[in-house]
A and B are shown apart, each in its own frame.
Chain A
Amino acid sequence: MDLHFGDSKPTDEEKAAVDALLGPPESSWEGAARDEMRAADLRWARGGREARERRDLLLPGLHAINDRIGWISEGALDYLCRRLTVPPAEAYGVATFYAMFSVKPRPATVLHVCTDLACAAAGASDLCAGIESRLGLGSGVGVQRSPCLGLCERAPAALAIKAGDPVRTAVAAPATVEAAVLAASAPDSAEEEPAAAMAVPQAGDPSLTLLSRVGVVDPSSLDDYRAHGGYTALRRAFQLGPAGVIREVTDSGLVGRGGAAFPTGRKWQATAAQPDHPHYLVCNADESEPGTFKDRVLMEGDPFSLVEAMTIAGYATGAHRGYLYLRGEYPRALARLENALAQCRARGLLGDDVLGQGYAFDIEIRRGAGAYICGEETALFNSIEGYRGEPRSKPPFPVEKGLFGKPTVENNVETLVNVLPILTMGAPAYAAIGTARSTGPKLFCVSGSVDRPGIYELPFGATLGDLLTLAGVRDRLRAVLLGGAAGGFVRPDELDIPLTFEGTREAGTTLGSGVVMAFDDTVPLPRLLLRIAEFFRDESCGQCVPCRVGTVRQEEALHRIAERTGAAAAGDIALLREVGRAMRDASICGLGQTAWNAVESAIDRLGAYE
C-alpha cells in the first residue's frame, strides 16, 4: 500500500495514549525517533506485516486517543496509522463512523443527553434546553444529544465523559439540570449511580432464574458468585463434553434473545462442525435498541455469569477466544466485566487450562463507540476487525465465515446467560418453562408510563397485560411499543397478547429484544414517530441506497405531517408506505429492513394521523 503521512505530528500526550495501548514503537517504521529506539541497529524495521496483522487494534487505538484527549487530531490519527500500518484514509473513514469520536477539536468533557423515546416522554427536551443554556460556549463541556443510553428505567438520563488519564465518567439519571451539570463539571464528585438491582423491581424474588443473583451477590466478588451457585454450570459442561452441551442447548429450545429468535443449539452445532479453524465466540453486548437495558443490568449486577456462560459457549463450539463487544456508553458494565475477567484469570477460570480440564479460553472486551448498526452481527465483526461497522452481505453466514473470516458463533448477552440454568436444571426442566415454542424465562425492559420501570423476568406466555400490571401501568394508556424502534406499537385494548415469539407474530407484531414501552396520552404520537425516524436516519451506516436515502425521506415526510391528519396527510402516508416497502425489501441488513416497522404500526394499528 502507498502509506502516506502528512506533516501533522502527534503531541506527547497523544503519543503516550497510543503507546500505552500498543507499547513503545520499536523502529522508525513505526514512528519512533532515533533516540527512542533502544535497538542498536537502526537498519532494523519492525512493522509491516507484523503490524498489519494488528489492524483490529485500530478501534481500541481510537478509543485510547479519544479517552485521553477528547478528540482525535490529524497527528494522533497518523501516528496510530503508522503504528498499525493502516492507510490514514481508511482510519479516517473508521474514526468518522462512530458518534462518540470527533475528528474536530472539542471540549475534553462531553455530556451525552439522551433524547430518545423513554427520555423524551420524561421531559428530555426541556432538560436538554436547560443544560445547553447552562453549559454554553466556554464552559469546557460539549453537550451532545444522544440516542438511547440504556438507562430508560431512570429517564431522563445523561452520561458525562471527561477525557484524561484515566478517563472519567458519571451518570445522572433521573437527571435534573443541576445533576447533569454537576456530573459534567465534576464527574469524580457526582453522586454514585444506584446499584444495578434498583433496576430490578423483582430483585430477591425466589422464583427468578436469570436475575436470581442481581442484587443478591456482590458483583465484584468471584467468591460470592461461587457461593451463589456460580461455576456449577461450567463443571456440568465439562462432564457433558462439547457435543453434550450442544445437545442440552438444542433440547432446551433456547432461541436468540437479541431479536432474531434463531435456535441457539443449531447455531452452535453449525459452528462446531466447521472444519476451518480457529473458531471464535462473540458476545454481542452492543445493546443499543432504544428502550433496551437488560444486558446492562445483567452485566452490572451479575458479571461473572456472563463470563461463565461465554466459557461454556466457547467450549461447546470449539473456540479458544471470545470477544465481548460492549456498548461504548456502558462504563460501569465495562469496569465490572474487566474486574470479573481479571479475577477469573487469576483463579484459573480463564486461561490456558480452565478448571484444570485442559481447555484454553480467554475473553477480550472490545468497546463500541456509538453505532447502533454494530449490533448487527456482521457489522460487529467489521467493527472488531478495525473497519467501518458496515454489515456484510449474507451468505456466507457467520457460522461459516464470521470474525476474521473464520467460523464464529455470535450470541446476545441474555441468550448466553440462559445457558447456565439449562445446564444446571437440565434441558427438560428448562423446556418446561414457558410455552411449547418459546421456552424458558424472558427478560422484559419496561419503561415509560409505569410506576415501577425496570427489568422483569417472566416465563414466556405471560400476557402484555400481566407484565404491565406488574410494572404498575398508569391510567390513560395510549400505546405500547414492543421491541423498540425496530418493533411495533400495539393498542391499549390488545393487552391480552401473549408475550411469546409465536404469540406476538400471530398478533402481527414482534417481541424483538423484549422492550415494552408504555405511553400515556400526554405524549404526542407524531413526535414519537419523528424521534424514531430521526434515530434511523442518524444510525443508518449509509452503505445501501434504500436505507441511506429512505430513512431521510421517511423523516421528511413525518415532519410534513407532524401537525396534519386525515386527507391532508394521506399523500405523505402513501409515500411513506412506498418508501417503507422498498426499505424492507431491498435493504442489506435488519436496520433498513425494520426502519419503517414502528411508523407503519402506528399508522395502521393506532390510527396516527386520522
Chain B
Amino acid sequence: MTVIPLGVPRRLLEFTLDGEPVRAPEGSTILDACRAAGKDVPTLCEGDTLTPKNACRVCVVEVEGARTLVPACSRKAEPGMEVRTDTERARHSRKVVLELLASSVDLSTTPKVAEWIKEYEAKPDRFGPDAARLNEEPRVDNELYVRDYDKCILCYKCVDACGEQWQNTFAISVAGRGFDARIAVEHDAPLTDSACVYCGNCIEVCPTGALSFKSEFDMRAAGTWDEASQTETTTVCAYCGVGCNLTLHVQDNEIVKVTSPHDNPVTHGNLCIKGRFGYQHVQNRD
C-alpha cells in the first residue's frame, strides 16, 4: 500500500492562463497549473524531485506586466496573474533556446527534444558549420557509470542531487564560467579520485543521457541498446531494511540498468550504490 500524505489543505488562487480562468492551489508554480490544465510546456532542467533551477529557459511564458519572459517551472502563480504560454514571443525564445542547445550539445539521447525542435521549427544548423560545440569526449574512468559531457546542457540537476537536495555528498560542482563551464569533481580529477560514492542519483535525474550506466553506454556503442524491447519490473531492494523500490530494466533477460520510482515515498527516486549497481549476483548463473 502506498501512503499518500494529504498535507495541510491549501487555498486555491485564481488567475488567467491563455485567456481561461484557472484555479491552482496556493504555492503552485505556473508549470503546475499548465500541467493541470493539460497544456504542454517543454522543460529540460526541471525535475519532479528537485527544486527548479530554471537554467535552461525552455519553459518561458509571458506574464502580463513583466518586462521579460518568466520561467514557468519556478515562478509561483499569483492571484490575478495573466499568463500566456503560446505567444509568438514565448515561442521565439523557446525556439532559439532549442537552437542554441542543439547547435552546441549532442541531444541525440534527450527524450522529446526532437519533437520540440520540429514543433518550434528550430534550425540548429543555421549558426553555420563553425559554430562552437562542447567537443567533450566521454569520460570512462570507472566500471559503474560514464560521464559524457558532450551531452551536458548544464541543467545543474546532478549537482543539486549530489549536493544539498538529496545525497549530501557534494562530489560535483560546476567549474569554469560561461561557455567553458563544465560539471566537474574537485580538481577536475577522475571520478575514482573524488568524493563520489556511486549512488547514481545523478544518473537518475540527468535529462539528456550525459550521465549513464556503463552497461547502457557500452550497449549504445555496440548498437545493441534497444529500449523498445526492455521490460521494467519494480521490486524491493533486498540489501537492507529500508525498503527502497528498484525498477529493473531488463533486456534479453539481463538487467541493463536500475532506476527507482520518483513518486516512491521511501526513495523519491534515490538509491545507494548497492541498490543501483549491485545487481550482478541476480544474473550470476554459474
Q: Mark A360-384, 1 if CB is under 8 A from B, else 0.
A: 0000000000010000000000000
Which chain A positions have C-beta within 8 A of B71? 393
Q: How distant is A242 from chain B, measured CB to nearest CB, in Å?
A: 31
Confirm or deny: A216 has a beta carbon within 8 angstroms of a beta carbon on chain B: no
Q: How distant is B14 from chain A, measured CB to nearest CB, in Å?
A: 20
**Interface set, chain B 128-168, CB cutoff 8 A to A:** 128, 130-132, 153-154, 156, 163, 168
Q: Does A89 contact B184, Cβ atoms closer than 8 Å?
A: yes
Which chain B positions have C-beta within 8 A of A250? none
Q: Does A556 contact B132, Cβ atoms closer than 8 Å?
A: yes
Which chain B positions have C-beta within 8 A of A87? 163, 169-171, 173, 186, 195
Confirm or deny: A261 has a beta carbon within 8 angstroms of a beta carbon on chain B: no
Q: Does A544 contact B55, Cβ atoms closer than 8 Å?
A: yes
Q: Mark A534-562, 1 if CB is under 8 A from B, else 0.
A: 00011111111110111111001100100
CB nearest neighbor in B for A90: B173
Which chain A positions have C-beta within 8 A of B189? 6
Stretch from B98-106, B207-215, B267-275 contacting the other chain? B98-106
Confirm or deny: A45 has a beta carbon within 8 angstroms of a beta carbon on chain B: no
> A545 and B177 in contact (CB under 8 A), knowing A88-B195, A556-B127, A579-B96?
no
Q: Does A556 contact B131, Cβ atoms closer than 8 Å?
A: yes
Confirm or deny: B30 has a beta carbon within 8 angstroms of a beta carbon on chain A: no
Q: Does A93 contact B197, Cβ atoms closer than 8 Å?
A: no
Q: How distant is B100 from chain A, measured CB to nearest CB, in Å?
A: 4
Name the one of B128, B173, B179 contacting A93, with C-beta atoms under 8 angstroms. B173
Confirm or deny: A567 has a beta carbon within 8 angstroms of a beta carbon on chain B: no
Which chain B positions have C-beta within 8 A of A539? 177-178
Confirm or deny: A486 has a beta carbon within 8 angstroms of a beta carbon on chain B: no
Q: Does B175 contact A92, Cβ atoms closer than 8 Å?
A: yes
Q: Does B126 contact A89, Cβ atoms closer than 8 Å?
A: no
Confirm or deny: A581 has a beta carbon within 8 angstroms of a beta carbon on chain B: yes
Confirm or deny: B180 has a beta carbon within 8 angstroms of a beta carbon on chain A: yes
Q: Does A540 contact B194, Cβ atoms closer than 8 Å?
A: no
Confirm or deny: A46 has a beta carbon within 8 angstroms of a beta carbon on chain B: no
CB nearest neighbor in B for A98: B177
Which chain B positions have C-beta within 8 A of A227? none
Q: Count of chain A residues with Cβ under 8 Å from any Cβ of B?
A: 52
Confirm or deny: A588 has a beta carbon within 8 angstroms of a beta carbon on chain B: yes
Q: Does A585 contact B93, Cβ atoms closer than 8 Å?
A: yes
In this complex, the member of B101, B171, B187, B188 whose beta carbon has the largest number of chain A beta carbons within 10 angstroms is B187
Q: Does B179 contact A552, Cβ atoms closer than 8 Å?
A: yes
Q: Does A550 contact B197, Cβ atoms closer than 8 Å?
A: no
Q: Does A6 contact B193, Cβ atoms closer than 8 Å?
A: yes
| A1, B189: Cα distance in complex, Å | 19
| A539, B177: Cα distance in complex, Å | 8
Which chain A positions have C-beta within 8 A of B177? 96-97, 99, 371, 539-542
Q: Does B57 contact A538, Cβ atoms closer than 8 Å?
A: no
> A582 and B184 in contact (CB under 8 A), knowing A89-B171, A89-B195, A96-B175?
no
Q: Does B194 contact A582, Cβ atoms closer than 8 Å?
A: no
Which chain B positions have C-beta within 8 A of A93? 173-175, 184
Confirm or deny: A40 has a beta carbon within 8 angstroms of a beta carbon on chain B: no
CB nearest neighbor in B for A87: B170
Q: How distant is B19 from chain A, measured CB to nearest CB, in Å?
A: 21
Q: Does A588 contact B178, Cβ atoms closer than 8 Å?
A: no
| A579, B197: Cα distance in complex, Å | 41
| A584, B171: Cα distance in complex, Å | 34
Q: Mark B5-18, 1 if CB is under 8 A from A, else 0.
A: 00000000000000
Q: How distant is A379 from chain B, measured CB to nearest CB, in Å?
A: 12
Q: How distant is A289 from chain B, measured CB to nearest CB, in Å?
A: 18
Confirm or deny: B60 has a beta carbon within 8 angstroms of a beta carbon on chain A: yes
Confirm or deny: B92 has a beta carbon within 8 angstroms of a beta carbon on chain A: yes
CB nearest neighbor in A for B186: A88
CB nearest neighbor in B for A581: B92
> A585 and B176 in contact (CB under 8 A), knowing A89-B194, A550-B96?
no
Confirm or deny: B250 has a beta carbon within 8 angstroms of a beta carbon on chain A: no
Q: Does A582 contact B97, Cβ atoms closer than 8 Å?
A: yes
Q: Does A89 contact B69, Cβ atoms closer than 8 Å?
A: no
**Interface set, chain B 24-82, CB cutoff 8 A to A:** 54-58, 60, 68-69, 71, 74
CB nearest neighbor in A for B44: A545
| A97, B182: Cα distance in complex, Å | 11
| A587, B54: Cα distance in complex, Å | 10
Name the one of A6, A542, A546, A587 contacting B186, with C-beta atoms under 8 angstroms. A6
Which chain A positions have C-beta within 8 A of B169? 1-2, 87
Confirm or deny: B257 has a beta carbon within 8 angstroms of a beta carbon on chain A: no
Confirm or deny: A346 has a beta carbon within 8 angstroms of a beta carbon on chain B: no
Q: Does B194 contact A4, Cβ atoms closer than 8 Å?
A: yes
Which chain B positions have C-beta within 8 A of A548? 154, 178-179, 181
**Interface set, chain A 489-525, CB cutoff 8 A to B:** none
Confirm or deny: A575 has a beta carbon within 8 angstroms of a beta carbon on chain B: yes
Confirm or deny: B185 has a beta carbon within 8 angstroms of a beta carbon on chain A: yes
Q: How distant is B165 from chain A, measured CB to nearest CB, in Å?
A: 13
Q: Does B154 contact A92, Cβ atoms closer than 8 Å?
A: no
Q: Does B187 contact A588, Cβ atoms closer than 8 Å?
A: no
Which chain A positions have C-beta within 8 A of B54? 393, 544, 588
Name the one of B92, B156, B184, B197 contacting A578, with C-beta atoms under 8 angstroms. B92
| A541, B171: Cα distance in complex, Å | 21
| A272, B258: Cα distance in complex, Å | 52
Closest 4 A/B residue pairs (Cβ) = A93-B173, A87-B170, A4-B195, A582-B96
A-B contact sample (20 more), CB < 8 A, given A4-B194, A88-B187, A588-B55: A2-B170, A4-B195, A87-B169, A89-B184, A90-B170, A92-B184, A93-B174, A96-B175, A393-B71, A540-B177, A544-B56, A545-B154, A546-B96, A552-B104, A560-B128, A581-B96, A582-B93, A582-B95, A582-B96, A588-B54
Question: What residues of chain B have their CB less than 8 Å away from a CB belonging to chain A?
Answer: 54-58, 60, 68-69, 71, 74, 89, 92-93, 95-97, 100-101, 103-104, 126-128, 130-132, 153-154, 156, 163, 168-181, 184-189, 193-195, 197
Can you name 6 A-B pairs with beta carbons within 8 Å? A4-B171, A87-B169, A87-B195, A539-B178, A544-B55, A553-B131
